[in-house]
Amino acid sequence: MMADDSERAATNQGGSINAADTVQAEPVTDWVNDWDWLDDAWGANAIDIWNGVREQCPVAMTERYGRAFMPVTMEAVSAIANDTVNFSSEFVSVAQPDAIRRPAPPITSDPPDHHGHRRLLLPSFSPKRIQQMETELREYTRGLIGAIQSSGIATADAAAQYSQHIPVHGIAQMIGVPDSDADLFRDWIYRNFQIAPRDNRVREQVTAEMRAYFFELLDQRAAEPEDDLASLITNAEIDGVAVDDELKVGYLLLLLLAGIDTTWSAIGSGLWHLATHPDDLARLVAVVDDPDDMLWLTFSEEVLRYYAPVTMGRKVIGDTEVSGCPIRKGEQVLVTFPAANHDPAAFDRPEEFQIDRAENRHVAFGLGIHRCLGSNLARLEMRIAFHEWISAFPTYSIDETSETTWTNGQIRGPRNIPVVLDAS
C-alpha cells in the first residue's frame, strides 16, 4: 500500500466508534415482530420463515436495527423497489441507524444521479461483452474440476473447491485484480455481510481495508492504464465531468461485493439441490451433450427463483404505507426479493422446485432502476458451472456424513457442500 493510501484509509474511517455498537443477538422467537436476518435459523430456514410470516401478514417488523420492516409478498416488494420517492437506495443493507454508509454507485444512487452512474458501467456488462468471456471461464472451471479429480479423493466440498472460485475469477478478470487476492476478497465479503450489520467497528474496519486497496488500484491505473474496468473507472466521466475519486472507489467496491458472493451462492445452491434431488440431476445428465438444451436455462432460472440469494435494503425518506403497514421517514426496509419469489399470488406452486418451469418471472435480480447490472455475467457463470460440473461428476450426491451450513444475512447460500463424487 502506498503511503498516501494509508493516510486516506485512516482519514476515511468515518468517525469514532462507540463501545456499544454491537446489536444484541438473542435468538428470534417471533419472526413477525422481531426478525433478524443474522439469526442462526435464517440460513437454513429462510424460505420457511418468509412463508410463515406471509401466512400472518405481508410485512414483518423488528427493532433490532432500529425500526426495520421486511415485506414478504410480491406486491409489497414490488411497491418498495419501484418507489424512489419514499425509499432511498442510500441504505442498501439493514444495519444500525448510525452505521457509516458510503456511496457505491449506481446501487446506492437515487434519481437523477443514478442514470449517469449506471450508463457508465452498463456497456461492460452487455450480453455481447459477457459472452466473450465464455471460453476462458470454461477453461478456468475445468481447471478447478481437474484439481478435484487429480486429488484422487472420493469426496469434495463443492462450495470451497468449486463454486466459491468461479465468480471471484470472473469479476477479478473484469476489474483487473489478481486471482491471488481471492482469499482477501472472501474475507472482506464474510466480514461485510455476516458480521458488519451488527458491529459498526467491523463495518468501518473492513471498509477502510477495501478503500485503501482500491485507491491504490486507481493510482496504479492512472500511471499505467490497462484494458479493464479499473482503468475505465480511473478515467470515468459523466456528461464531460470527471467522476470524484470517492465515487470511483464506490464503483469498485460494488463490483467486488455484488459480483462474487451473490453468484457463488446461486451456483452453490444449484449444486446442493442436484446433490439432494437425484431425479433432477438425472434429467440434466440426459442432456449433458447439448449445453444449449433449454433445460439448462430453465434449471438455472429456477435456481434463481427458488434459492434467490440476495436481499437489499432501503432507507425510508417519506412517510408512506406498504400493504396497509405504516412506515415512517428514517426507518429501514429489507427488500426480500427471495420471499417474493415464493409468494403463491405470484407463482404457481412456488413451494415446488420445477426444473422445467415454463413461466418464471422471478425477481432474483431485483426490480426497478436497480435491477442487477451483472445479471448477464451471473447467468453465464451459472450455466458454465452447472454444465461443467455435471459433465465431470454425473452421479455425485450429498455426503450424508457431513452437514451443509448456510450463510445468513444479505447473501444467503451454502457455505459448504460436502459431496460424494461417484454415488454409483
Q: Where do the structural domains in the chain lie, given as residue ranges? A: 3-12+83-317+349-395
Distances (CA, A) of 71 to 55, 336, 356: 12, 6, 28
- Per-residue pLDDT, averaged over 357-361, amounts to 96
Local confidence band at 424 (pLDDT 50, 70, 90 cut-offs)? low
Q: What is the full DSSP assignment across 243-286?
A: PPHHHHHHHHHHHHHHHSHHHHHHHHHHHHHHHH-HHHHHHHHT
Local confidence band at 423 (pLDDT 50, 70, 90 cut-offs)? low
What architecture does CATH give domain 3-12+83-317+349-395? Orthogonal Bundle (1.10)
pLDDT at residue 1, as a whole number: 31
Q: Which helix (H) or strand (E) holds 206?
A: helix 200-223
Q: Which residues contact 271 (CB under 8 A, 6 or more apart)?
A: 158, 159, 162, 163, 385, 386, 389, 414, 417, 419
pLDDT at residue 23, as a whole number: 53
- pLDDT exceeds 70 at position 21: no
- Residue range 334-347, pLDDT digits in tens: 999 999 999 999 99
- Residue range 167-179, pLDDT digits in tens: 999 999 999 999 9
Q: At what angle do helices 278-285 and 294-306 cross, to 10 degrees?
A: 150
Residue from 316, 348, 412 nearest 59 by CA: 316
Local confidence band at 100 (pLDDT 50, 70, 90 cut-offs)? confident
- pLDDT exceeds 50 at position 8: no
- pLDDT exceeds 70 at position 6: no
Average model confidence (pLDDT) across the chain: 92
- Per-residue pLDDT, averaged over 128-149, amounts to 97
Cα separation of 329 and 327, whole Å? 7
pTM of the predicted model as reported, rounded to 2 decimal places:
0.92
Q: Cα Rg for the chain, rounded, in angstroms?
A: 21
- pLDDT exceeds 60 at position 296: yes
- Per-residue pLDDT, averaged over 184-200, amounts to 91
- pLDDT exceeds 60 at position 232: yes
pLDDT at residue 24, as a whole number: 56
- pLDDT exceeds 50 at position 10: no
